[in-house]
Structure 1
Amino acid sequence: MEATFFLMGVDGGGTGTRVVLADAHGVELAQAEGGGSGLALGVARAWQAIEAACAQAFAAAGLQLDWARCALGCGLAGVNNRDWLADFVARAPKLAALDVQSDAYTTLLGAHGGEAGVIVAVGTGSIAAVLDRDGACRIAGGYGFPSGDEASGAWLGLRAVVHVQQALDGRARPDAFSDALLARMSVCDRDALVVWLCEANQTAYAGLAPVVLAHRDHPVAAALLAQAGADIAQLVDALDSSARLPIALCGGLAAPLAEYVPASHRTRLRPPLADSAHGALELARRALARTKP
């Protein structure tokens, strides 16, 4: 009797993991979500989050997870670090097929349905990618926290913390914005803030982004959001100097940051056709097809 195979698309970032389960024909059966699986969090932790979300998706479909019958397509933050990627692949369970690409590539596949276009993914981190009319993929940004990931949640949070620091030591006047940031960090004084800063990772800083958005009229927050919009435009220009391709903003910060994209680029914004998890599902379909004679 011929084995029944399943396709699984995984979108893994620093904050969360999304999984789409489909049958071998691409008919969607279930979706699930879990903790972060960006490789910067650690490869073992990434697999733990992915396995939990996959098991949840199978349970939702009333099925039992059997890795040997699964083709897994993963779009993960952090695969541009070749050592992390090699470790991730080495730790994989015995699968029917596996393809691991950057979350930028799977976002690109989903957003434009495999057609030419630009994406800027802004969530915990950020990256931009283009699929040109010749089918070639190029990337801009995505160098990672803390030096890169412009316009991301972590980028916003890292810079917003400066306002808190200055409010605590008298360089700036304490206000509703600094108070809200302190509350989000569960911090009340300088010593506690130092402890928070020493322990904070990319995900912790990204957790401050909603506070920035909630205080968008504050001069500091407004300046950060304006810079985020300008950085998005710069990423697009690096990939599409002709200024002709459609742009899809993707990720958790796509909707709130769209209004800060300069007008010259805003007219080219298009809603993504599908998300990164569905782009990863296409990776899984292709990977499974390659295993068959």
Structure 2
Amino acid sequence: MNTDLFLIGIDGGGTGTRVVLGDAEGRELAQATSGPSGLGLGIERAWQAIQAASNEAFRIAGITPNWSRCVLGCGLAGVNNRDWLAEFRAQAPSLAALAVESDAYTTLLGAHGGAHGVIVALGTGSVAAVLDGKDEWRLASGFGFPSGDEASGAWLGLRLIVHAQQALDGRVPFDALAQALLERVGAQDRDGLVVWLCEANQTAYASLAPVVFEHRGHPHAANLLSQAGTEIGKIIAALDVSGELPVALCGGLGVPLREYVPSQYQARLRAPLADSAHGALYLARQEAARVVAKFAG
């Protein structure tokens, strides 16, 4: 390995960017964060966020940045849009090497340390992936809000708010769950709720997810959590027909939803070994090894 290189793992999404700076062997030197770098928010903005976080990591490590000595491994939201990906590569600074994959893939690498396994990432949205025994990886779920992203925060919130709607109409009793939902959205009556609904996006619906866990004993909330667990089970089954690979539930809802995963999958559940940024560092190390092997050959 060329010891003059630095490896940078980048986890970029719609809410923020996390980077892990490593030496040529992948040993961690520093971490830093910055604003969002999901490609859907703009390519120039993505590179600005990546460079800001990377420069901060270098500052923390006490090293002067030199992009020509950097190998970047990027796990980014939006790389499935080939036009965005091509533009992202075209706008890259002068680097030693660049590897770009879906953030689902880097989450997969981080969760299982590059070994075979399944991840189900559960946050505002959801996506799942597998690295199988043939060293091939593929995705499931992640089709996006509002029709997809099963078991995500937005998926739960979209269904949970129905209880408040029906309670205001008298179709179901006005109870503690309905009151909690109205307080969360800042509404006091039907008109106020309609205003919130007309403005609500994926993030707004996901903000209701804590309410479903706070009221997990309520029949409506309990049913939603059970449905979420069932959907997670269906995803696992679709990705691993062998029924043998370890499964990591990742993201902010990974731990809260674990108990709702069907019993036949419980024994295979594992805590993630590392996060997507560290998975991206692993990706950078793989890319650096390819570059070194190319020049050595």
1 CA distance for matches of 2:207 and 2:44?
A: 23
Aligned position for 2:246: 246
Give me the whole-angstrom Cα distance separating, in 1, the residues matched to 2:40 and 2:254: 22
RMSD of aligned residue pairs (Cα, Å): 2.4
CA gap 1:180/1:93 in 2 versus in 1, 3 angstroms? farther
CA contact (8 A) 1:113 1:273 kept: yes
Q: Which amino acid aligns with 2:158?
A: L
Residue 130 (str. 1) matches residue 130 (str. 2): yes
Q: Does the alignment pair 1:11 with 2:7?
A: no
Instruction: Identify if the C-alpha distance between structure 1 residues 200 and 137 changes in structure 2 by more than 3 Å, giving closer, same or farther.
Output: same
Name the stretch that deviates more: 122-131 or 183-192.
183-192
Aligned-partner Cα distance in 1 for 2:210–2:145: 18
Distance 2:227 2:64 in 1: 47
Which one has the largest radius of gyration? 2
Report the secondary structure of 1:10's partner residue: strand
Name whichever of 199-208 and 129-138 sits farther off. Answer: 199-208
Written as runs of structure 1 = structure 2, the 5 A alignment for 1:64-79 is: 64-79=64-79
In 1: Cα distance, 2:231 partner to 2:47 partner: 32
Residue 269 of structure 1 deviates from its aligned partner by 0.7
Query: How many equivalent residue pairs?
Result: 292
Q: Pairwise mapping of residues 257-276 of structure 1 onto structure 2 (< 5 A)?
A: 257-276=257-276
Moved more, 50-59 or 107-116: 50-59
Q: Which amino acid aligns with 1:81?
A: N
Specify the alignment match of 1:29 in structure 2. 29
* Structure 1 residues 227 and 46: CA distance shift in structure 2, 3 A: farther
Partner of 1:95: 95
Change (3 A) 1:14 1:286: same
Q: Provide the rounded CA distance (Å) in 2 between the counterparts of 1:40 and 1:175.
A: 40
CA distance in 2, matches of 1:167, 1:66: 60
Q: Aligned letter for 1:133? A: G
Q: Normalising to structure 1: TM-score of the pair?
A: 0.88
Corresponding residue for residue 180 of structure 2? 180
Write the mapping of 1:1-293 to structure 2, written as runs, cut at 5 A.
4-292=4-292, 293=295
TM-score (norm 2): 0.87
Identity within the alignment, % = 68
- Hey, what's the Cα distance between the residues in 2 that align with 1:63 and 1:182? 50
Q: Secondary structure at the residue paired with 1:259?
A: helix
Label 1:215 to 1:53 Cα distance change in 2 as closer, same or farther (>3 A): farther
Deviation, structure 1 residue 198: 3.4
Whole-Å Cα distance in 1 between the matches of residues 280 and 213 of structure 2?
Answer: 30
The alpha-carbon deviation at position 48 of structure 1 amounts to 4.3
Output the amino acid matched with 1:240: D
User: Does the C-alpha gap of structure 1 residues 49 and 42 become closer, same or farther in structure 2, counting only changes over 3 Å?
Assistant: same
Check the 8 A contact 1:14/1:202 in 2, yes or no: no
Q: By how many angstroms is 1:40 displaced?
A: 4.2
**Counterpart amino acid of residue 26 in structure 1:** G
Distance 1:142 1:24, change over 3 A: same
CA shift, 1:3, in A, is 9.1
- Residues 97-151 of structure 1 deviation map (CA, whole Å, 9 limit, x = unaligned): 2211112211111222222211111112211111111111121111122211111
Letter paired with 2:256: P
Unaligned runs of 5+ in 2: none
Letter of the structure 2 residue corresponding to residue 175 of structure 1: D
Q: Is the 8 A contact 1:13 1:124 kept in 2?
A: no
Indicate conservation of the 8 Å contact 2:114/2:282, yes or no: no
Please identify, of 210-219 and 181-190, the stretch whose mean Cα deviation from structure 2 is larger.
181-190
Aligned residue identity for 1:143: F
Query: Once the 2 structures are TM-superposed, how far is the Cα of residue 44 of structure 1 from its aligned partner?
Result: 4.6
Moved more, 205-214 or 140-149: 205-214
